[in-house]
Amino acid sequence: MFCNNVLGLEFLRVGFFGVTMATILPFVFGALIGGLLGYLFAPFFVKKLWQFTFWVEARLNKMPMYDVLAGSLGLAVGLIIANLLGSAFLPIPIVGTYIPGLISIIFGYLGINVAIRKRDELFGVLSMVPWMNKEKQKDKTASVVQYKILDTSVIIDGRIADICKCGFIEGTLLIPGFVLEELQHIADSSDLLKRNRGRRGLDILNRIQKELGMYVKIDTRDFEDIAEVDSKLVKLGQVLHGKIITNDYNLNKVAELQGVSVLNINELANAVKPVVLPGEEMVVHVVKDGKELGQGVAYLDDGTMIVVDGGKKHIGETIGVLVTSVLQTAAGRMIFAKPKAM
């Protein structure tokens, strides 16, 4: 009896061991075969995956930002719709688990294509949203604001204050630190004329800021590798994309050559002078003789020089003249005239 029990236990042990080995061996062999296949084919698939990633990245880099944003939004909407529809197919036996994946691929692709093709209409609709419209207006307002960089000569000149008072200058007036330093050196000069000019410039800045209500900003940056103040002004204009206000003819030309916009006070003064045409009659006061024989010189209220042919004998008199020609120069406008026949 005892022997039979021992034999039975031994039989059960051997049977259990056999069943266990029969169960484990397929997994072991499967793991070995899978590892071998992975070792052999993994480099190929990894290489292809990296190539696909680089291809996608290159395509995205070539696409405009609006297309990328529209495609991303369309993909998100397409996947949301696919998720809602796919959940309805889950109860279907066998194919129910595969349909949602297929629907996601289809709707994701459609969402990207439709959004990119309709991007203009899409962003047009989004711009109607109140908070986005406010941001757009802020960006537009910010983009309009532009610095007006003042030159030392235009500050000393003083006419910039009258122009600001009339409202022709908008935005922020920028005073570079090196310009303010140069103005201070002029104000501290031992030469009386220079000292008066420098102090007048400082008074002009004070008037613009306090009396006229213009926003004046001091920019402390300096370009130590550049010695000339004019060159520093041009560099600052390039950095800030601002406009230089000056009455210096040479600075005007240098700045324009380097792509910096310039507002020239002298050009503005010439532009607002009254237009005079040949044949018009004027009444002028001859104050001195001209360079050529027999010429007399008169001036209009705005400083325009009038050269009167044969006007030397009328020096000190107010006479009527007839305009013969008008000459526009870099220094201003000159009018040539002759005495009106009595």
Cα–Cα distances (Å) from 55 to 60, 74, 112, 114, in that order, read 9, 21, 17, 22
Give Cα 246 to chain centroid, integer Å. Answer: 23
The verdict on residue 81 lying in a domain is yes
Q: 257 in a domain, yes or no? A: yes
Same domain, 123 and 75: yes
Of the candidates 197, 151, 143, the one whose C-alpha atom is nearest the C-alpha of residue 173 is 151
- Evaluate whether 226 touches 235 at the Cβ level (below 8 Å): yes
- Last-in-domain residue among 142, 174, 197: 142
51 in any annotated domain: no
Same domain, residue pair 162 and 122: no
Q: Are residues 259 and 155 in the same domain?
A: yes
Highest mean pLDDT among 109-123, 258-272, 278-292: 278-292
- The SS3 assignment for 186 reads helix
Q: Within a 13 Å sphere around the CA of 94, how many CA atoms are in the beta-carbon half?
A: 0
Q: Same structural domain for residues 98 and 153?
A: no
In the prediction, which pLDDT does 242 show? 86
Domain boundary among 124, 142, 160: 142
Alpha carbon 12 to its chain's center:
86
DSSP states of 49-93: HHHHHHHHHHHHHHS-HHHHHHHHHHHHHHHHHHHHHHGGGTTST
Tell me how far apart the alpha carbons of residues 199 and 15 are, in angstroms, rounded to a whole number: 112
| The pLDDT value given to residue 54 | 78
- What's 313's domain CATH number? 2.40.50.140
Query: What is the C-alpha separation between 248 and 228, in angstroms, rounded?
Result: 14
Model pLDDT, residue 140: 47
pLDDT tens across 182-216, in order? 888 888 888 888 888 889 888 888 888 777 777 78
Taking only the tens place, the pLDDT of each residue in 19-31 is 565 667 777 777 7
Same domain? 149 vs 137: no
C-alpha distances in Å from residue 224, one per residue of 50, 85, 174, 233: 48, 67, 19, 13
**pLDDT band for position 16 (50/70/90)?**
very low
What percentage of the chain has pLDDT greater than the value 90? 1
Is 149 contained in some domain? yes
CATH assignment at residue 212: 3.40.50.1010
Across the range 242-251, mean pLDDT stands at 86
Say which residues have a Cβ less than 8 Å from residue 151's Cβ, sequence separation at least 6: 179, 230, 233, 244, 245, 246, 247, 248, 251
- Based on the fold, state whether residues 128 and 153 are members of the same structural domain: no
Considering its fold, how many domains does the chain have in total?
Answer: 3
pLDDT digits 0-9 by tens, 127-167: 555 555 555 554 444 444 578 888 888 888 888 888 888 87
Percent helix / strand / coil, the chain, rounded to 5: 60, 15, 25
Q: Quick one: tokens of 31? A: 């793991």
Residues 155 and 204 sit within 8 Å (Cβ to Cβ): yes
The answer to whether position 42 is within a domain reads no
The mean of the pLDDT values for the chain is 78
Q: How far is CA 338 from CA 139, 308, 322, 332, in A?
A: 58, 5, 5, 20
Range of the domain at 223: 145-270
Task: Give residue 125's pLDDT.
Answer: 64
Same-domain check for residues 157 and 248: yes
Neighbours of 339 (CB within 10 A): 19
